[in-house]
Structure 1
Amino acid sequence: MTDEPGKDLAPRQPPPQPPVPHQPPLQPQPQAQAQPQAQPPAPQIDPEQLRQFQEFQRFQEYQRYQEATGQAPQAFKPHGRRWWLVVLGSRVFWRALFFLLVVFSAMWAYDNFFGRDDPGGIAQDSGGVTGPAQGLSAPAGLQGAVGMFYKHVSFADTTRACTLIYRDDARERFAQAHGASDCGEAVRKLKDQVTNVDRYQQVMFPPDMLKTPTSTRVTIDSCELTVEGGPRLGVFVVEKIGSGWVITDWSPGSCG
């Protein structure tokens, strides 16, 4: 049997497939819920760091307030250590204090053992001086024995005024002439007669009295002086004893 021409050229049909059994649709699987993770413990805050942070916050707020109000910025003073605690804890402070103590101790020792000359003061007792007389460097002039006597009277300085008079009998005559029981009372009475302290303590001496004396005994009469603002104080006899001039005698003046 002969095959028909072109029969082999026809397309072939695929063989029938067996039926696929019905499957239910896939259901989405529920996702597992995330378990909450444990929180780490809160870190401990250092109180000092917290204080510094709060100070810094206040400083920032202070700066913003200054900028907003247009005020001039001022130094911000945080609450820190007190300044005196810082000073007491400084070695420099204690070294400086020790140095000052050494200096003052040396000065005190020098004055105590060697002493200083005290113009206008004389070491004395009832019999006179107990050592070299330490009077003034001149008999007359504002810094001389008589000039300083007027100055002490103007201030009622009874101690310095009376110690310039060397002898007891001269002090007694000075007190009796002014109706006083002693030299100090006489000085206080004379002070009451002073009307101008500034002028009275600046007694003017004649040029001859201001020259260097040629002898160790000089007489100065208050009548020859220019005295303003108070009474004249009589006639003084001034002598050089040791290295200074002191009043060794006194008598009332003829001019009041």
Structure 2
Amino acid sequence: MTDEPGKDLAPRQPQPPAPQIPQPPEPPIDPEQLRQFQEFQRFQEYQRYQEATGQAPQPPKPQGKRWWLVVLGSRIFWRALTFLFIVIAALWAYNHYFGTDDPGDIAQDSGGVTGPAQGLSAPAGLQGTVGMFYKHVSFADTTRACTLFLRDDVRQKFANAYGASDCAAAVKTLKAQVTSVDKYQQVMFPPDMLKTPATTKVTIDSCALTVEGGPRLGTFVVEKVNAGWVITDWSPSACG
């Protein structure tokens, strides 16, 4: 007898599914690489546009902060502004509560001279009243020189001694006799005159001074009026 076909064949078993090989996780996207990739895409678009039209579009400008916003957001700016405000406030407070006396308080009979008598803090010395008088003459500063005299009659006496119509004209006449401004404004006073006076009235004779580069300017009577020393009298001296 013949075998039936397929009778001796075992039924085919279903094949098990192939094992799933785990895929490695995708690496996270680097923001910097993404930015560079996007810029590269924009550059390609820019090139294609240039090839198609023959015109180059203006690339977009980066949107940066305005300079004044950067300044206002700076700590250094606000610290500097605060420091400046403190300095201004301190200066105002000092001048308000400890300011010096107004030299205009010592004005008396200023006559035709512009401004009141301007007294300095010492009668002698380079920064004293007589020292500054020599300096003003060396520069022909008629206003400042003549306002060191307290009264108009003393100014006129000084002018008459030099054959001038007024104090300002006398200062100009003396200026013409100055041969060295640098030496003339550096009048040297003897040590006794540089001490703080024991009285409020002193006499300073130009003959006792070391004067170079110009004429000697007579004898000054200097008095302390309020906070400043002013010339209250003048006369020619034996040496000039």
TM-score higher than 0.5 here? Answer: yes
How many angstroms apart in 2 are the aligned matches of 1:138 and 1:86? Answer: 54
How many angstroms apart in 2 are the aligned matches of 1:82 and 1:230? Answer: 64
| Equivalent position of 1:196 in the other structure | 180
- Structure whose alpha-carbon radius of gyration is higher: 1
Q: TM-score, normalised by structure 2?
A: 0.59
Matches within 5 A, 1:23-34: none
| Equivalent position of 1:142 in the other structure | 126
Kindly provide the CA deviation profile for residues 14-36 of structure 1, in whole angstroms up to 9, marking residues without a partner as x: xxxxxxxxxxxxxxxxxxxxxxx
Letter in 2 for 1:50: E
Aligned partner (choices 50, 54, 59) of residue 39 of structure 2:
50
Count of matched residue pairs: 181
In the alignment, is residue 176 of structure 1 matched against residue 160 of structure 2? yes
| Equivalent position of 2:216 in the other structure | 232
Q: Give secondary structure in 2 for the equivalent of 1:233.
A: coil
Letter in 2 for 1:217: K
Q: TM-score, normalised by structure 1?
A: 0.55
Once the two structures are aligned, what percentage of the paired residues are identical? 71
- Are the counterparts in 1 of residues 121 and 229 from structure 2 also a CA contact under 8 Å? yes
How many angstroms apart in 2 are the aligned matches of 1:227 and 1:205? Answer: 9
Letter in 1 for 2:171: V
Matches within 5 A, 1:60-209: 86-108=70-92, 110-111=94-95, 114-116=98-100, 123-125=105-107, 127=109, 135-209=119-193
Gaps of 5+ in 2: 1-33, 44-63, 111-116
How many angstroms apart in 1 are the aligned matches of 2:228 and 2:195? Answer: 16
Aligned partner (choices 231, 236, 239) of residue 252 of structure 1:
236
- Are the counterparts in 1 of residues 106 and 226 from structure 2 also a CA contact under 8 Å? no
Gaps of 5+ in 1: 1-44, 55-79
- Are the counterparts in 2 of residues 153 and 161 from structure 1 also a CA contact under 8 Å? yes
